[in-house]
């Protein structure tokens, strides 16, 4: 099951939500302390918890606690010293519902209420008396009176939804009220791009889609070679030579993370990073041993005899079609007759991805639209001038502009139909794999173990990427998007999706060297696990 974003668990909402200087004549901008930041102050400074105890209570990593706490202390200092209003609101958190065994490090009244009144009724459905919902909602509502206003009401509504949603994973709850039972769907579920923006819940685009059999779980896998593997490795040409992993960042950083975490060494290998030319050229000429990259980038070169093959899956899509938020373009149908930018050029990966997105909705990428090249940095200005109507952009690049209300997503690789396909894969030189099958297997295991760690620890993985300069931008944004990418795809999932992608490439004429789908599949896919 996809791992949800680790919301920071908060015992209860703050009783006071705003603090104002006695002399507020200057009307300085308020400093916003998020609810999860407030919770670290409450637990560490008020309750005297250790960072480890705080991490247990909030159900996050200790390193995350330390980071949040430092940010919170800095905000409070700025407010006190510079005389800014201090307001508590927002953040990535959920109010405790009493289900956690470590609630308040030993139980609380919410836990007692939950155990008393919540009774399982069938798979994924909880039937509960109104007493439970009312008492827990009251505990939330009473704490909101200090702030009042729309923000408080909105927050209260969100928390009530979260509470109900936490009672069952399917987001369905039956409440007994005056003898009448009603079924309410309250969960935050994945939405496709157009519906997410129409509903004003664009973050729902990045809520993972649950697809059985999606993952290979190698986080706890022992990479140490068996005696049989070690004997076989010693006979292979690459034995004793370093693994030259292509140093990429962001969503393709799995090989680099594997080195940082010591996974190559655990697998009995030495490793060195390589960076210089494109990963296609590096892999094709054996300047690099392994890389993670787009199927859309590598598939066509493979059919043109570049010596590369895919050995494992990495993650689902990270790009989407975007238009100006106030434009008339809400769906791909609206884009008929317009110009769409593919930033990395005609025939490159952006062109291929855009073609697939349009084709899925019956839009002919050759006849119904005009695809043109405008760099990502220049796309927004080009849209504002009316030169293009939409552009294919990286989700991390577009995030800030979505948050500011400048851009909206029209179609995405995160949409449910495309979330069934691998976007990026682990790739190696085909000849290297043929000549060094055991070493290739151990390299792939090391990279997949890195992907599993990134999947199971999105907060720590995000912090690592930011600390090492392998990612940029907003921390919370990176956690959300990295979580949505669903790292560590299984061979079964990747192989099935690759076959579908190849069929589409052949049908759309993106692959011209051959129309032999099975032959392309055999060239492109060499699973080694």
Question: Of all helices (H) and strands (E), which one includes residue 412?
Answer: strand 407-412
105: how many CB neighbours lie within 10 A of its CB?
A: 13
Residue with the bigger pLDDT between 507 and 177: it is 507
Lowest mean pLDDT among 53-62, 225-234, 435-444: 53-62
Closest CA to 467 of 253, 283, 209, 154: 253
Lowest mean pLDDT among 81-85, 111-115, 438-442: 111-115
pTM: 0.67
Please list, in sequence order, all residues whose beta carbon lies within 8 angstroms of the beta carbon of residue 217, skipping any fewer than 6 positions away.
452, 488
Torsion from C-alpha of 174, 176, 180, 182, nearest 10 degrees: -20
- pLDDT number for residue 97: 59
| Most confident by average pLDDT, 55-59, 110-114, 286-290 | 286-290
Phi/psi for 113 (5° steps) reads: -65, -45
- pLDDT number for residue 474: 81
Please, what is the Cα angle at 299 between 293 and 304, to 5 degrees?
130
Q: Is the pLDDT of residue 525 over 60?
A: yes
User: Residue 304: pLDDT band by 50, 70, 90 thresholds?
Assistant: very high
Tell me the per-residue pLDDT of 123-176, one tens digit each, with 9 for 90 and over: 333 333 333 333 343 333 333 333 333 333 344 344 334 433 333 333 333 333
Domains of the chain: 8-160 (no CATH), 227-317+421-524 (3.40.190.10), 319-412 (3.40.190.10)
485: how many CB neighbours lie within 10 A of its CB?
A: 26
Lowest mean pLDDT among 90-94, 142-146, 390-394: 142-146
User: Residue 219: pLDDT band by 50, 70, 90 thresholds?
Assistant: confident
Question: Do 359 and 369 meet the contact criterion of CB atoms below 8 Å apart?
Answer: no
User: Residue 228: pLDDT band by 50, 70, 90 thresholds?
Assistant: very high
Instruction: Give strand ranges (E) for 130-229.
Output: 172-177, 180-185
Q: How far, CA to CA in Å, does 259 sit from each of 256, 271, 449, 486?
A: 5, 7, 11, 20
Mean model confidence pLDDT for the chain: 82
User: Residue 24: pLDDT band by 50, 70, 90 thresholds?
Assistant: low
As a whole number of Å, the end-to-end CA separation of the chain is 21
- pLDDT number for residue 15: 75
- pLDDT number for residue 55: 85
Q: How far, CA to CA in Å, does 106 sit from each of 54, 58, 111?
A: 13, 13, 10
Question: Do 85 and 25 meet the contact criterion of CB atoms below 8 Å apart?
Answer: no
Q: How far, CA to CA in Å, does 41 sit from each of 30, 159, 364, 425?
A: 19, 21, 56, 42
Phi/psi for 512 (5° steps) reads: -115, -15
- pLDDT number for residue 307: 96
Q: What is the DSSP string of 313-366?
A: EEE---EEEEEETTSS--STGGGTTSEEE-TT-TTSHHHHHHHHHHHTTT--TT
User: Residue 518: pLDDT band by 50, 70, 90 thresholds?
Assistant: very high
Q: What CA–CA distance (Å, rounded) separates 473 from 207?
A: 20
């Amino acid at each position: 099951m996809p791992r949800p974003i680790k919301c920071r668990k908060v015992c209860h909402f703050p009783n006071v939500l705003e603090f104002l200087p006695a002399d507020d004549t200057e009307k300085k901008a308020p400093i916003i302390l998020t609810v999860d930041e407030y919770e670290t102050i409450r637990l560490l400074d008020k309750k005297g918890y250790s960072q480890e105890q705080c991490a247990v209570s909030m159900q996050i990593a200790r390193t995350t606690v330390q980071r949040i706490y430092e940010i919170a202390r800095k905000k409070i200092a700025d407010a006190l010293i510079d005389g800014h209003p201090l307001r508590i609101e927002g953040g990535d958190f959920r109010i405790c519902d009493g289900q956690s065994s470590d609630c308040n490090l030993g139980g609380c009244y919410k836990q007692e209420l939950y155990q008393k009144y919540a009774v399982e009724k069938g798979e994924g459905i909880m039937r509960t008396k109104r007493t439970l919902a009312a008492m827990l909602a009251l505990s939330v509502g009473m704490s909101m009176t200090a702030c009042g206003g729309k923000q408080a009401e909105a927050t209260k509504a969100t928390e009530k939804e979260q509470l109900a949603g936490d009672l069952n994973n399917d987001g369905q709850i039956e409440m007994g009220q005056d003898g009448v039972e009603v079924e309410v769907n309250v969960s935050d579920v994945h939405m496709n791009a157009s519906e997410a923006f129409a509903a004003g819940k664009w973050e729902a685009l990045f809520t993972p889609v649950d697809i059985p059999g999606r993952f290979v779980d190698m986080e706890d896998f022992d990479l140490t070679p068996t005696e049989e593997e070690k004997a076989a490795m010693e006979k292979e040409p690459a034995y004793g030579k370093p693994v030259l992993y292509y140093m990429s960042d962001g969503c393709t950083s799995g090989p680099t993370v594997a080195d940082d975490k010591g996974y190559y060494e655990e697998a009995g290998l030495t490793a060195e990073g390589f960076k210089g030319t494109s990963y296609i050229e590096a892999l094709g000429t054996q300047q690099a041993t392994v890389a993670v990259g787009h199927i859309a980038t590598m598939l066509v070169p493979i059919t043109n005899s570049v010596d590369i093959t895919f050995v494992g899956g990495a993650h689902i899509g990270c790009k989407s079609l975007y238009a100006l938020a106030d434009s008339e373009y809400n769906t791909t149908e609206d884009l008929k007759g317009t110009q769409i930018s593919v930033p990395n050029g005609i025939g490159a990966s952006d062109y291929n991805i855009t073609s697939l997105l349009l084709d899925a909705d019956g839009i002919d990428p050759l006849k119904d639209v005009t695809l043109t090249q405008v760099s990502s940095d220049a796309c927004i200005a080009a849209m504002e001038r009316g030169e293009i109507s939409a552009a294919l952009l990286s989700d991390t690049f577009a995030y800030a502009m979505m948050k500011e209300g400048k851009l909206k997503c029209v179609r995405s690789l995160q949409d449910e139909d495309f979330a069934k396909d691998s976007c990026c894969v682990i790739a190696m030189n085909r000849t290297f794999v043929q000549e060094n099958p055991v070493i290739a297997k151990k390299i792939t295991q090391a990279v997949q173990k890195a992907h599993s760690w990134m999947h199971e620890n999105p907060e720590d993985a995000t912090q690592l990427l930011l600390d090492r300069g392998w990612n940029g931008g907003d921390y919370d944004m990176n956690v959300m998007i990295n979580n949505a990418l669903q790292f560590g795809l299984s061979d079964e999932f990747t192989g099935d999706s690759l076959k579908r992608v190849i069929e589409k490439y052949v049908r759309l004429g993106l692959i011209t060297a051959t129309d032999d789908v099975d032959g392309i599949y055999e060239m492109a896919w060499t699973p080694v696990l």
